[in-house]
Structure 1
Amino acid sequence: MPRRSSSLLGVAALLAIVTAGAGACGSGSSSSASACDSPGVSSSEIRLGLLYPDTGPTASAIATARAGVDARIGLANEKGGIHGRKIVYDWRDDQDNPTANATAARYLVEQRNVFGLLEFSFVADGSAQYLADKGIPVGGLSVGDAWSKHPNMFTVGATTVSPIDVFGNFLKSQGAGKTAVVATALSAGTGDTNSVLTQSVQAAGIDIVDNIAFTDGADDPASVGRRVAASGADSAVVIINGPALPAVVAAIRAAAPRMKVVLSFGGYDHQLLAAAGQIMAGVTIPIFYRPFESGGPAVEAYRQAMIRYAPQYNDPEQQLAYTAYIDTDLYLRGLEAAGPCPTRQSFMSGLRAVTSYDAGGLLMTPMNIARDLGKQITCWSFVQVNAEGKGFNVLGDQQCGRVLPAGAGAS
């Protein structure tokens, strides 16, 4: 299995998992699988494709996603694969470009003959219609509206499908009245996330006083901080991931030191804290999965899988790797449900028949996939970087809300 040659947006937008000892996707029940006629399926293997930006504006933010894929597939193969078949994959770089995304998808399907795709990209819309027309099962990071439009696309983390009241209500509970939004530029997926969050914030009665696009390497973080301060904002929503996040947070704090809350949709990453923890102190991050700090068998299974199958990362507690691990687990659950001789159609119908899925305990609220797959997640937890910048505190219990009606929060 090829590995990344060098090192989410955040996810915002961003925006996996397990069975190991927790049992989300068990090993196959067949010790000697027979050959099937399905693309990518032999008597010994199921071949998938992986699409992600190895180069391009969001490459650094997405880099750890592949580690999560490797960890979950490695764990599955350690336990005998799925129905006796080893899971393998070919990958292509979509360069964070819709045209390249479409070309890479066609190559994997038509030249490499893969069964289906895992996709961790902010430009999935580039290939979405082609993959839907071909009936190719696609799982991965849900950014953009393709994931809710196409029934062949599966994800645990539907985070930008519809506006919800949770984020605005949280900001309001922290005393926010005026918010500046800072988001990564050059990504259609980020724009979708920005739109959904803007509606959430405005529906809570909070004014959006500035909306600032930021491109790492092209824009000066200090100028972002000055704009936030000039806007009169008492809070900031940051949709940036990767190395630029601490610099932007530091600039905002320097220019506007009385911020009541900085809500970031990236940065739940202990490796980032090791490099810039004091800068990130006090930043709050929403997550839809079990926090690392909660511990338990499912979290420990993830850690051990990362240590064994993605050893290039010294600290496995990284947000994108974690969510990619979960979405990969969901894909393996679909392969399990497809039966001993899987077809693309049996994958999709089998997965959509699952009524209770919690990724072996990594999701705190089980999903009824038959009803909820592709719909907006409405239950979130909030973690906050502690005062020393060395770890995260979980802020109370999981907070659940509702999807806002169309047009809510529009100004």
Structure 2
Amino acid sequence: MLGLVVGTGCSGTTASASSCTGDGAAPGVTRDEVRLGLLYPDSGLLAEAFPGLRAGVDARLGEVNATGGIQGRKIVYEWRDDAGTAEGNLSGARELVDQRGAFGVLEFTAAATGSAKYLADRRIPTVGLAAEDVWTKYGNMFSFASTLAAPVDTYGRFVKERGGTSAFLLRSAMSAGVSGAALRIGQSLQALGVDVVGSFAYTSGADSVTDVARQIVSSGADTVVTMITPADLPPVLRAIRELGGSPKVVLSLNGYDHSLLRRHGPDLAGVLVPVFYRPFEAGGAPIQHYLDAMARYSPQTDDAEQEFGLIGYINTDLFLRGLQAAGPCPTRQSFLAGMRTLTRYDAGGLIQPTNAGATRGRQSTCFALMQVNPSGSAFGVAQDNLCGRALGPTL
């Protein structure tokens, strides 16, 4: 599947831009535009895991193009559906880079392992969701936050403070990268004395929700940590309660989605979700700026307050910052060098200042924890800026 997005309002070309064209021009860069590629699962089992993603990308590109683009060039993109598979991911990346001439790639998927080596070998700038171990391996891959690399004790610290003593890890079976994340969460819990008493790789539609819930209840765990698609979580929690289970802590690594509450709020009551950006409930100028951009440039979205809309927006902004730092005649090499100059990147106040060029080698140690209220109607800030420490290399 293919889509093309072009913003409006570019101020025209500049002398410096025109001097970059010709045989020496970087792929995807012309006098008038820079062409990007976007990879994400628009179909397949993971399609519902990324609501609002493209709306966030469109909003940020709409903003920059309305003010003249980068160095006088519009930023445009084509997209490919990787269907959430490694094969689809590699095929989509090859099409975007080899056939469509994309300068760089925005990537939001749990199948990035498919194209990672191909993109790294060609030094293709890649920015997006660091959801798999492969994001820690290659110097061309960047994200504003990482939950990868060495484990941190932050998760274990929080669970212990809430009275948790034993945990069951429920992860998705659809991504190999999630297994690595589950290992690090387990290390975090165990470092604070919380025993991991069970683990299961869950596939919605293939595994019985009741059987999975029975495993969790039978394990005796007082804490459930989930790394599954947010839409799959409510029926699991409902089944746990129907079987008499009442965990002290339910920590979901994703699911900060207000539309999810409208559909399944009561089942999600009490669930905690860590976020690595400014929560919508915090308000303020950065959040209002984002909401205004979504309303103006992505009016098709019915709810701007979705985590993947914001994640798409921030990572697109990060790519634009790298492109600006690459200079008036951007090359892939100058982009990668420019990214490493972004040592205090904060996405206009949407995240804490971070060294964008160094995130791939370390995991974020601080985050906010959002909690669904008892009626399941809204999120609240359970703990702001919860911090821990790195535990050392992944085992």
- TM-score of the aligned structures, taking structure 2 as reference length: 0.93
Structure 2 matches for 1:24-103, cutoff 5 A?
33-34=17-18, 35-36=20-21, 37-103=25-91
* Pairing 1:311-390 to 2, within 5 Å after superposition: 311-363=299-351, 365-390=352-377
Q: Is the CA contact (8 Å cut-off) linking 2:149 and 2:394 kept in structure 1? A: no
Q: Judging changes above 3 Å, is the alpha-carbon distance between structure 1 residues 282 and 176 closer, same or farther for their aligned structure 2 residues?
A: same
Superposed displacement of residue 220, structure 1:
2.3
Which residue does the alignment assign to 1:154? 142
Counterparts of 1:287-306 in structure 2, within 5 Å, are: 287-306=275-294
Aligned residues: 385
Match in the other structure for 2:3:
2
> In the alignment, is the contact (CA less than 8 A) between 2:166 and 2:223 conserved in 1?
yes
CA–CA distance in structure 1, aligned partners of residues 97 and 187 of structure 2: 38
Deviates more, 1:42-51 or 1:222-231: 222-231
Cα distance change on mapping 1:267 and 1:256 into 2, 3 Å: farther
CA contact under 8 A between 1:53 and 1:94: conserved in structure 2?
A: yes
Query: Is 302-311 or 354-363 further displaced after alignment?
Result: 302-311
Aligned match for 1:405, one of 362, 370, 392:
392
3-state SS in 1 of match to 2:383: coil
Offset, 1:88: 0.6
Residue 168 of structure 1 aligns with an amino acid whose one-letter code is: G
List per-residue Cα deviations over 1:133-158 (Å, max 9, x = no partner): 11100000102222111001111121
Q: Aligned match of 1:217 in 195, 205, 210?
A: 205
Instruction: State the alpha-carbon separation in 1 of the partners of residues 277 and 117 from structure 2.
Output: 29
- Consecutive unaligned residues in structure 2, runs of 5 or more: none
Cα deviation, residue 103, structure 1: 1.6
Q: CA deviation at 1:374?
A: 4.2
- 1:28–1:82 CA contact under 8 A, matched in 2: no
Q: Provide the residue aligned with 1:393 in structure 2.
A: 380
Query: Displacement of 1:3 after TM fit?
Result: 7.7
CA distance in 2, matches of 1:323, 1:42: 28
Q: Is residue 146–residue 359 contact of structure 2 (8 Å, CA) maintained in 1?
A: no
Q: Helix, strand or coil: the match of 1:191? A: helix
SS in 2 for 1:223: helix
- 8 Å Cα contact 1:143/1:192 also seen in 2: no
How far off is 1:213 after superposition?
A: 1.7
Contact 1:29 1:82 in 2 (8 A): no
Alpha-carbon distance in 2 for matches of 1:29, 1:249: 54
Q: Aligned-residue CA RMSD in angstroms?
A: 2.0
Report the counterpart of residue 281 of structure 1 in structure 2.
Answer: 269
Partner of 2:164: 176
- Partners in 2 of 1:45 and 1:65 — Cα distance? 23
C-alpha contact 1:225 1:254 (8 A) present in aligned 2: no
Higher relative contact order (CA 8 A, sep 6+): 1
| Offset from partner CA, 1:347-393 (integer Å, 9 cap, x none) | 11011112211010000x20123544542111111010112211111
Are the counterparts in 2 of residues 183 and 214 from structure 1 also a CA contact under 8 Å? yes
Counterpart CA distance in 2 for 1:213 and 1:350 is 39
Whole-angstrom CA distance in 2 between matches of 1:210 and 1:54: 32
CA contact (8 A) 1:237 1:264 kept: yes
SS at match of 2:3: coil
Instruction: Report the equivalent of 2:260.
Output: 272
Identity value in percent: 48
Instruction: State the SS of the aligned residue for 1:217.
Output: coil
The one-letter amino acid paired with 1:205 is G
339-348 or 210-219: bigger deviation: 210-219
Conservation of the 8 A alpha-carbon contact between 1:155 and 1:374: no
- Output aligned runs, 1:124-135, within 5 Å: 124-135=112-123
Provide the C-alpha distance between the structure 1 equivalents of 2:258 and 2:50, rounded to a whole number of angstroms: 16
User: Scaled by the length of structure 1, what TM-score is found?
Assistant: 0.89
> Which consecutive unaligned segments of at least 5 residues does structure 1 have?
5-26
Change (3 A) 1:286 1:369: same
State the SS of the aligned residue for 2:392: coil
